[in-house]
Structure 1
């Protein structure tokens, strides 16, 4: 079976992995967990080197990707860019997440779109999860290094230290085009408001290159190209999330209510530690360490 990957421009940052449909054999009764395949952990740098698999087609064929459509077309000289925090769940965390997805698949009405896991590839390899700090944007070839230098300098000047977060709820979130709906885990506000601070650094760095902000809506704009951010930063804690699965159909009100019955006590007990920020430009991933 041929491996399929999107070309270097994608409709959203969540589209980095092939779909894995949760079928009837994956679905279990509420309260049960499914045993997930696990492999020995690899060094973080290894994942950065192999962040993307081989591309076999430059054309957008939704039939090869579970119905997903690319919104940003592939253009020579354009480099899809994404800023994010990366998380590889431990074996215990992965098992709990697998159980949550399986329970959700069991709860959804059969006539609605299937739910596809983001935890493993079609071949069973564990995939990284992430918290986005930017939209999926596009930089020109000549902008790549200046942007990376600016972002890294701003991050180091901020003196933001490594931090922990906890997970505290399930929800459905659509992409900006409402062509896909992501099953997500909401996260709490960490000490020193770290997520909001990282978001502001990312937005301001990308704004310098004319790229749109994530969550923030500066108002009013100034006459020049740089936007005028408010003096009192807003709190976007309610927006941050980790996507664990996706579907094409919008969840119904009943579907949203059903997931509230899933027990998250075990999941909320885990703490996720972040000590670096990832900047992916094209297929190259830069890992920028936070201040120790």
Structure 2
């Protein structure tokens, strides 16, 4: 065991025998090289929300617990950045400052906690279940506001309008794995969406007040409504700092 206690024996003379012996306990410091041998169990994040733009964990981090979720990635087209800037500027005039998402995706699971030794069997279960799922297309073009259950973050998102049936098929497979590991399944009547940007706290009321104006920007885009089109060719599972990819059958 790392950092075990060493026991030292000392005696003033051999003639004192056991009565004169003393037990000295002390703990050696663990070398830095040993502390860094197992980085998989170390989460570099802290509980300080100021280091994460105001984001707050939905559950407390514990060593060996890995936050895990399953999703379909969206790869933005070239004009997406300019379009998003327009939306954020319009929201700002209503007193709400939004931060763009670092990545864009459709969630297919809630965020759950995996123990480190569950990762391999969990991802293998997903791979097996998804082996015969076909690729498909889906799209989103209607803006919608969401707030998480803890009321710590508000999201401006685009709701999926096509591909709902195929997404529900994937949810059944992901839920089956969640159930096998006694983890929470997805929402019973999910509203599939791609989150575009967020702000801390519950800003639902302010966002709803300007939602129609924002939707007009979507509908009156240069060449018709601005639509997010997702070519769903693979699922991904993010667990801690690892990402697993599961290609769908062509």
With normalisation by structure 2, the TM-score equals 0.74
TM-aligned CA deviation for residue 100 of structure 1: 1.6
SS at match of 2:231: strand
Cα distance, 1:93–1:61 mapped onto 2, change above 3 Å: same
**Residue 98 (structure 2) pairs with residue 104 (structure 1):** no
TM-aligned CA deviation for residue 166 of structure 1: 1.7
Match of 2:48 in 1: 61
Match of 2:60 in 1: 73
TM-aligned CA deviation for residue 170 of structure 1: 1.0
**Residue 212 (structure 2) pairs with residue 240 (structure 1):** no
| Structure 1: gaps spanning 5 or more residues | 1-54, 119-126, 217-234
TM-aligned CA deviation for residue 188 of structure 1: 1.0
Match of 2:247 in 1: 289
**Residue 116 (structure 2) pairs with residue 141 (structure 1):** yes
**Residue 73 (structure 2) pairs with residue 82 (structure 1):** no
**Residue 174 (structure 2) pairs with residue 205 (structure 1):** no
Tell me if the contact between 1:172 and 1:251 (Cα under 8 Å) persists in the aligned partners: no
Q: Which deviates more from structure 2 when the two are superposed, residues 146-155 or residues 260-269? A: 260-269
**CA–CA separation in structure 2 for the residues paired with 1:80 and 1:131:** 17
Match of 2:106 in 1: 131
**CA–CA separation in structure 2 for the residues paired with 1:57 and 1:144:** 19
**CA–CA separation in structure 1 for the residues paired with 2:118 and 2:59:** 18
Query: Which is bigger in relative contact order (C-alpha 8 A, separation at least 6)?
Result: 1
**CA–CA separation in structure 1 for the residues paired with 2:117 and 2:204:** 45
The two structures, once aligned, show a CA RMSD in angstroms of 2.1
| Structure 2: gaps spanning 5 or more residues | 1-41
**CA–CA separation in structure 1 for the residues paired with 2:58 and 2:206:** 29
Deviation by residue 1:235-273 (Cα, 9 ceiling, x = unmatched)? 53xx11111111124235453132212221345445221
Structure 1 counterpart of 2:166, from 190, 194, 199: 194
* Structure with the higher fraction of residues in strand conformation: 2
Cα distance, 1:63–1:253 mapped onto 2, change above 3 Å: closer
**CA–CA separation in structure 1 for the residues paired with 2:204 and 2:60:** 31
**CA–CA separation in structure 2 for the residues paired with 1:141 and 1:252:** 36
With normalisation by structure 1, the TM-score equals 0.64
TM-aligned CA deviation for residue 189 of structure 1: 3.0
**CA–CA separation in structure 1 for the residues paired with 2:205 and 2:63:** 42
Equivalenced residues, count: 203
Query: 5 Å matches for 1:234-273?
Result: 236=190, 239-251=191-203, 253=205, 255-262=207-214, 263=216, 264-265=218-219, 266=221, 267-273=225-231
Query: 5 Å matches for 1:153-172?
Result: 153-156=128-131, 159-172=132-145
**CA–CA separation in structure 1 for the residues paired with 2:49 and 2:228:** 36
Cα distance, 1:73–1:270 mapped onto 2, change above 3 Å: closer
Report the structure number with the largest CA radius of gyration.
2
SS at match of 1:164: strand
Structure 2 counterpart of 1:180, from 132, 153, 177: 153
**CA–CA separation in structure 2 for the residues paired with 1:246 and 1:154:** 33
SS at match of 1:261: helix
